[in-house]
Structure 1
Amino acid sequence: MGASGWQYYVPYQPDLQAALTELRNHTFATGDYWWAVPYEFDKSAADFPNRPTTERELWSDEAVQESGTHSILDVRKIATTPSFGVVVPVTPAEALAAAGTTTPTREHVEKLDALADERWVGRCAVLHDAAGHPTELYFWGASGD
């Protein structure tokens, strides 16, 4: 199947780990991820009433462990160093180099996208309004096999 890119916008909150956890919980609850077990590539888990009811159950299946969910569920924690299954926040220096500003807005997202250059490693950026106030968080990356 190959990796799939994913992206999510959530309201800003200063606790990035809490925002990630809430987003993961919402994604799992709504079934907005690919469930490897049926191997139906054009459907999400929401299309199957018998999908796992807990993340533990989901990840206990070897097919899911190997293929991932092609969603935010494939990353679990915020960290400053890229490694498998983490989300690395964009630094001000990275934002400046990629987008020309340390307070990126939604209009800068395309310029930030290239910063997610490793599979199974997500990125997160604080997006701002025109006055420079944080308004939302942008999570993105690529995962799955």
Structure 2
Amino acid sequence: MGASGWDYYVPYQEDLNAALDALRDKVFAAGDYWWAVPGEYGKSAADYPNRPTTWDDLFDDEEVQESGTHSILDVFKVIEPGENPEFGTVEPVSPAEALAHVGTEHPTREHAKALTELAERRWHGRCAVLHENGKPTEIYFFGSSGD
């Protein structure tokens, strides 16, 4: 199947891990992820009434363990600046990276798509705090995962 790119916008909050957790809960509840059903590529979990109902059920599924969900569900933690990005983590875009890629340390929603090239590694995510009139308004989560 190959990896899938994904991206999400959520309202700004200072705690990036809390924002990630809330987003993951929303995506899981909506079934807006790929659930590995043999021979049924191209459908999402929402297409199946018997999809997993708990996180444990989802991640106990052998196909999910091997192929992932091709969504934000495949990442678990926002790391701190200077921390080494590992499998399943989300790395915030630094002010220096934002400046180098979009010309400002305070990117806006209009800059978001230009930041996606910073998500170079599979099974990792990135996030950027987006601004409007100089104030943080959204968090943009983006990355790729799945096999």
TM-score by length of 2: 0.95
CA deviations on 1:35-54 (whole Å, 9 max, x unpaired) are 01344222110010000000
Q: Secondary structure at the match of 1:49?
A: coil
Q: Secondary structure at the match of 1:109?
A: helix
What are the within-5 Å matches in structure 2 for residues 65-104 of structure 1?
65-79=65-79, 80-104=83-107
1:144 corresponds to: 146
Which structure 1 residue ranges, 5 or more long, are not aligned? Answer: none
CA deviations on 1:84-103 (whole Å, 9 max, x unpaired) are 00000011011011111000
Percentage identity across aligned positions? 68
CA 138–39 in structure 1, closer or farther in 2 if over 3 Å, else same? farther
> Is residue 104–residue 127 contact of structure 1 (8 Å, CA) maintained in 2?
yes
> Is residue 10–residue 137 contact of structure 1 (8 Å, CA) maintained in 2?
yes
**1:37 matched to 2:37:** yes
Which structure 2 residue ranges, 5 or more long, are not aligned? Answer: none
1:11 corresponds to: 11
CA 77–39 in structure 1, closer or farther in 2 if over 3 Å, else same? farther
TM-score by length of 1: 0.97
Aligned length: 144
CA deviations on 1:1-59 (whole Å, 9 max, x unpaired) are 00000000000000000000000000000000000134422211001000000011100
- Aligned CA RMSD, in angstroms, stands at 0.9
Letter of the structure 2 residue corresponding to residue 26 of structure 1: K
> Is residue 5–residue 70 contact of structure 1 (8 Å, CA) maintained in 2?
yes
Q: Runs of 4 or more off by more than 2 Å in structure 1?
A: none
CA 39–126 in structure 1, closer or farther in 2 if over 3 Å, else same? farther
Distance of 1:39 and 1:123 partners within structure 2 = 31
Distance of 2:39 and 2:52 partners within structure 1 = 15
